[in-house]
Amino acid sequence: MLKIYGCYKSRATRVLWLTEELELAYEHVPVVQAGKLDNPLASDAPINTQSPAFLAVNPFGAIPALEDDGLVLFESLAITLYLAKQYGGEMGPKDLEEDALMMQWALFAATEIESNALKISRIFGDGRLDSEAGQSEAAAAARLLKRPIAVLEQHFAKNEFTVSDRFTVADINLAEIVRYAQPYAPLLAANPNLKAWLERCQSRPAFKAMWAARATEA
């Protein structure tokens, strides 16, 4: 059976959202980040990214990871693209052109957006976004995002979804990275087409189910 390692409060959300969309049967192994534990190697520690059992699956020690009939993958975007091609139907590429576009947008999001978007997410997660210093840091990250976000704003002025005329894995991969910057309201307020697209993605029942599970995770 398909097996997914990771917790909801991680990049595994991309994979777990997709499994909801596809209604896939799988075994979920709840691996947590070692940095969240006082002693990740303690005998009573939950399975985590430093646990020998998990390192046997992913020597890199990062989540998520996937096992499927002997195949092991441990990069979240590779996992989602694989699942979409293997099981996704309309969620995956119909031809080589769509495949290339889905890869392009995944790499664009990872290389041009994720790093600075994560800065905003961490400021928000630390409870500092309402402070003057936090706002200043978030604004600086948003300035660095201006160029790639402008590309997305222009794209969604003409397109309802990321690739072709339907919701696909490309939207999940991109939306889950843009989401990191979502707490900084001025960024999306200045880009209404991007905001509307993100709202379309996050209004889907599968996203809501994934997000509800994430909210209840310890």
- The DSSP-derived string for 137-169 is HHHHHHHHHHHHHHHHHHHHHH-SSSSTTS--H
pLDDT over threshold 90, residue 218: no
Reported pTM: 0.96
pLDDT on residue 1 = 87
Query: In whole numbers, what is the pLDDT of the chain averaged over residues?
Result: 97
Residue position matching structure tokens 């790639």: 148
Find the helix or strand (DSSP H, E) in which 5 lies: strand 3-5
| 173 has pLDDT over 90 | yes
State both tokens at 71.
């195949």
**Cα gap 208→200, rounded to integer Å:** 12
Alpha-carbon distance of 15 to 78, in angstroms, equals 10
The candidate with the shortest Cα–Cα distance to 77, out of 62, 57, 90, is: 62
181-192: pLDDT as tens digits: 999 999 999 999
- Sorted by where each starts, the structural domains of the chain and their CATH numbers stand as 3-91 (3.40.30.10), 96-208 (1.20.1050.10)
